Amino acid sequence: MFQSRDQILKAYQDYLACLNARDWESLPRFVAEDVTRNGVRLGLSGYRALLEGDVRAIPDLAFLPSHLACDPPLLAARLVFDCTPVGGLFGLPVNGRRVRFTENVFYEYRAGRIAQVWSVIDQAAIEAQL
Amino acid sequence: MFQSRDQILKAYQDYLACLNARDWESLPRFVAEDVTRNGVRLGLSGYRALLEGDVRAIPDLAFLPSHLACDPPLLAARLVFDCTPVGGLFGLPVNGRRVRFTENVFYEYRAGRIAQVWSVIDQAAIEAQL
């Protein structure tokens, strides 16, 4: 399957819309069955469980990129979160406070789907806001 | 000044070589006078001071990318560090232990130089290794 820059950018925007709609049934359109994250093979079910856990912890979580760099088969995104976690987050007692933090993340696309993810989340920024 | 993907990739590789050689005198070839990092205007002198501080804290620091996504004027890099900080690092008592951590970072190039930087360093990974 051909993966041009425009096709990957479109697939990624559709993936973010899927997450923002909590449309977990559509996730297999965007994420490969054997997806890995930071070198750990989560598989699609583990990846979905991770996202569902994020949304339970942060009901108002919205995935919004401030920067995108697409260089097939890679896409890198900077995501800016401005949200209100209900309890703990990354082991930190956020407890309903509004926090802003970022994630810089690389995705490798294969056959039109996300096959590998390498993410760094700015947990230190959250700590600094508590 | 034209900034093609290949030109930015070459400029970035030369920038990393400059850092790895501690060739601070050459830094103005790669970094703009009014450079910002995570929204803070450091300027070239502040940016150089930050790098010199990193190298004082981590004498064996080597800048090696595992992933590069270049989409002009942006370049995103995942840097993998495997190093031995001599004292504290990000407020953590590393004290001579060997640690591995990553940085996912976006650069915006302007006229062939790095003008803006948005970085996330995986400090939580360092904590987990102590």
Whether B16 has a pLDDT exceeding 90, the answer reads yes
How far is Cα A129 from Cα B44, in angstroms, rounded to an integer?
A: 28
B106 in A contact zone (CB under 8 Å): yes
Task: Identify the burial level of B1 via C-beta atoms within 10 angstroms of its C-beta, where 0-12 means exposed, 13-18 middle and 19 or more buried.
Answer: exposed
A68 in B contact zone (CB under 8 Å): yes
B100 in A contact zone (CB under 8 Å): no
Whether A1 has a pLDDT exceeding 70, the answer reads no
Whether the CB-CB separation of A105 and A117 falls below 8 Å is answered with yes
A75 in B contact zone (CB under 8 Å): yes
Whether the CB-CB separation of A62 and A3 falls below 8 Å is answered with no
Q: Which two tokens stand for residue A95?
A: 């407890």
**Structure confidence at residue B8 (pLDDT):** 97
**Structure confidence at residue A95 (pLDDT):** 85
Q: What tens digit of pLDDT does each residue of B24-81 get?
A: 999 999 999 999 999 999 999 999 999 999 999 999 999 999 999 999 999 999 999 9
Whether the CB-CB separation of A87 and A95 falls below 8 Å is answered with yes
Q: Provide CATH code, domain B5-129.
A: 3.10.450.50
Whether the CB-CB separation of A120 and B104 falls below 8 Å is answered with yes
B118 in A contact zone (CB under 8 Å): yes
Probe site for chain B from A78, A90, A107, A117 (most B CB atoms < 10 A): A78
**Structure confidence at residue B61 (pLDDT):** 95
**DSSP alpha helices (H): ranges in chain B?**
5-20, 43-57, 123-129
Query: Using a CB-CB distance cutoff of 8 angstroms, which residues of chain B are in contact with residue A71?
Result: 5, 68-71
Nearest to A67 among B102, B106, B121 (CB): B106
Q: What is the length of chain B?
A: 130
B128 in A contact zone (CB under 8 Å): no
Above pLDDT 90, what percent of chain A?
85
Q: Which two tokens stand for residue B95?
A: 């004290």
How far is Cα A120 from Cα B80, in angstroms, rounded to an integer?
A: 12
How far is Cα B91 from Cα A36, in angstroms, rounded to an integer?
A: 31
The chain-wide mean pLDDT, for chain A, equals 95
Whether B1 has a pLDDT exceeding 70, the answer reads no
Nearest to B78 among A71, A78, A106 (CB): A106
How far is Cα B45 from Cα A31, in angstroms, rounded to an integer?
A: 43
Q: What tens digit of pLDDT does each residue of B76-126 get?
A: 999 999 999 998 888 888 888 999 999 999 999 999 999 999 999 999 898
Q: What tens digit of pLDDT does each residue of A6-59 get?
A: 999 999 999 999 999 999 999 999 999 999 999 999 999 999 999 999 999 999
